[in-house]
Amino acid sequence: MSKTLPHTAAAGIEMGIKKFILAQLLYNRVAKACANRLLEWPLFLRNRGYRYVLRRQIKRVIDRYRYVPFALRIENTNICNARCYLCPHPSMKRRKGSMSRELYKKLIDEACRWGVGYVNLHNFGEPLLDKDFAWRVAYAKRAGIARISTNTNAQQLDERLAQELIEAGLDEIIISLDALSQEMYEKIRTGLDYKKVLGNVEGLMALKRRMKRNPTTSALSTRGNPPSNSCRPTCPLSTI
């Protein structure tokens, strides 16, 4: 037992370093741009040995992901608190509910065995209505998923829940905001409260600053509405 411990610790550290480098290369834009530049350096490309290694590497990656998804989207719940005019959710015939913890664990464990690096918790419903949401994030992080994101309408995202999500390790929150006037917002996102959502988003921004943790936060806009970037001066997300 005492002989295997250092080995296990070393293997754990090595795996952690590999995951960190992989996450940096996959999700860090600067690292990605530098790596791409380096890989396309003419001095390298003219070298036959380099081209051979590169071809083998590309084939290895293609073979690896031929039958295995790189990213996974999981519908943790299909319950929703809105009736957005753009969405067919109200006419959905499927039974409504949340995924069991057992099924979720099975999916995440399998995803880890496959080497899936990205999980998005959301599909047809409001994911934060799921009372197990923070638990799901924490479980996936512990299991070794590099990046976890969700899309939300932010109606439920009060300070307590935001703190739970940040502490659980959520990496990205995509907020379906759609409009920056109450009138337009409530026309699009029927059933939601514009002021409450905006307050929640501002609370999340303040919490991120206080906790010195920074899950990526972005706003999503549907076609036909001004993109959130063009509304930066008034958008609380502009503080990112």
Nearer residue to ligand SF4 within complex by CB, 190 or 230: 190
Q: Which positions from 88 through 107 interact with ligand SF4, judged by CB under 6 A?
A: 89
Considering the complex, state which of residue 22 and residue 86 has its C-beta at the smaller distance from ligand SF4.
Answer: 86
Among 54, 87, 112, 206, binds ligand SF4 (CB under 6 A): 87
- 46-54, 77-85, 136-144, 194-202 -> range binding ligand SF4 (CB under 6 A): 77-85
Residue 153 found at the interface with ligand SF4 (CB under 6 A): yes
- Distance between CA 178 and CA 226 in Å, rounded? 8
Using CB under 6 A as the binding rule, whether residue 74 contacts ligand SF4 is answered as no
Binding residues for ligand SF4, how many (CB under 6 A)? 10
Our CA dihedral for 211, 216, 217, 219, rounded to 10 degrees, sits at 170
Shortest distance in whole angstroms from residue 124 CB to ligand SF4: 6
* β-pair partners for 172: 149, 216
Stretch that binds ligand SF4, among 20-28, 56-64, 78-86, 142-150 (CB under 6 A): 78-86
Q: Is 79 in the site for ligand SF4 (CB under 6 A)?
A: no
Instruction: Tell me the β-bridge partners of 151.
Output: 174
Q: Rule CB under 6 A: is residue 80 a binding residue for ligand SF4?
A: yes
Please state the closest distance from residue 72 (CB atom) to ligand SF4, in A: 19
Between 126 and 171, CB nearer to ligand SF4: 126
Query: Is residue 220 at the binding interface for ligand SF4, with CB under 6 A as the rule?
Result: no
Stretch that binds ligand SF4, among 41-49, 54-62, 84-92, 231-239 (CB under 6 A): 84-92
In order, the DSSP letters of the chain are -TTHHHHHHHHHHHHHHHHHHHHHHHH-HHHHHHHHHHHT-HHHHT-HHHHHHHHHHHHHHHHHHSSS-SEEEE-SB---S---TT--GGG--SPP-B--HHHHHHHHHHHHHHT--EEEE-SSS-GGG-TTHHHHHHHHHHHT-SEEEEEE--SS--HHHHHHHHHHT--EEEEE---SSHHHHHHHSTT--HHHHHHHHHHHHHHHHHHT---EEEEE--TTS--GGGGTTT-GGGG-
Cβ of residue 80: shortest distance to ligand SF4, in angstroms?
3
Contacts (CB under 6 A) with ligand SF4, residues 121-140: 124-126
Binding site for ligand SF4 (CB under 6 A): 80, 82-84, 87, 89, 124-126, 153
